[in-house]
A and B are shown apart, each in its own frame.
Chain A
Amino acid sequence: MEEFQIIENYLMVRLPEEVDHHRADYICRKADRYLLDQKVEHIVFDFEDTRFMDSSGIGIILGRYRKISCFGGKVYAIHVDKKVERMFRMAGLNKIVEVLA
């Protein structure tokens, strides 16, 4: 199950086991609500639980990046495994997101 948490000016999003369109739609809308209502500047996506991801995961990150980067916000991705990292690289996300294994 996805989880949202605010630590200082960071929104922490713990992604679910399967990051697909079915789950991504809700995560995008919920994250955007936090970005609007709370004073968060940066986002951290935690892939610790994630065992499956498709292009919907790229969309979650790219979409949030577009919303916060113009205000100087940064996007981080943590606990990223090889599979997810390969997809990040193919989409060019590693250039705009701070990726940590």
Chain B
Amino acid sequence: MNSEKNEMELSFDAVSENESFARVAVAAFVTHINPTLEEIDDVKTAVSEAVTNAIIHGYENYRGYVKGGEGERPVPVHQGKVYVRCRLEGDVLHIEVQDQGKGIADIARAMEPMYTSRPELDRSGMGFSFMEAFMDDLEVESRPAAGTIVRMTKKLGSTSWIACGE
């Protein structure tokens, strides 16, 4: 067993252009343990879901990018930071995504498939379902007006030769 430990931490402004930055950074952080392409995709999607939720729901910066010259600028901007912390323990990846935004009053309801508080924003209510399906473990801690922490875990490289034997 590989019991090597490695940690990283990011904090960035709660704006939509940072969604891709966050998922690519986490993917880059785990490449040296040789996860499968599917695992990387799963992790990227889960990170994207959690970070997008922090930006849209936590800080209510729901506008995405606007093409220049069309006379429209994003409505936001509620100031706020999103924090992403990753810890690799051997081949197990722990991810924490935190915001200090609005918080969630009813966590159980928020996590129900297809539940969204913002259907008018073209949200589908599948974010938590995807996090749950694509990661091994998902936990949500939240308090109204204090913010939200989403914790996820996934074992990586599970089908690679490194994982079997020894």
Contacts and interface: CB of A to CB of B under 8 A. Distances in A.
Interface of A: 18, 20-26, 28, 52-56, 58-60, 62-63, 83, 87, 90-91
Interface in B41-98: 41, 44-45, 48-49, 52, 55-56, 62-67
19 contacts: A20-B48, A21-B16, A21-B56, A23-B64, A24-B122, A28-B122, A54-B127, A55-B123, A55-B125, A55-B130, A56-B122, A59-B121, A59-B122, A62-B122, A62-B124, A87-B126, A87-B130, A90-B130, A91-B124
Contacts of A90: 126, 129-130, 133
A20 B64 CA distance: 9
A60 B124 CA distance: 9
Contacts, number: 76
Interface of B: 16-17, 19-20, 23, 41, 44-45, 48-49, 52, 55-56, 62-67, 114, 121-127, 129-130, 133
Contact of B67 (A24, A26, A87): A26
A22 B20 contact: yes
A56 B127 CA distance: 9
A24 B126 contact: no
B127 A55 contact: yes
A83 B65 contact: no
B151 to A, nearest CB: 19
Nearest to B56: A21
Contacts of B129: 90-91
Given A62-B124, A90-B130, A54 B65 contact: no
A81 B44 CA distance: 17
Closest 8 CB pairs of A and B: A25-B64, A22-B16, A63-B122, A59-B122, A58-B124, A55-B126, A54-B48, A59-B124
Given A26-B65, A52-B44, A83-B41, A21 B126 contact: no
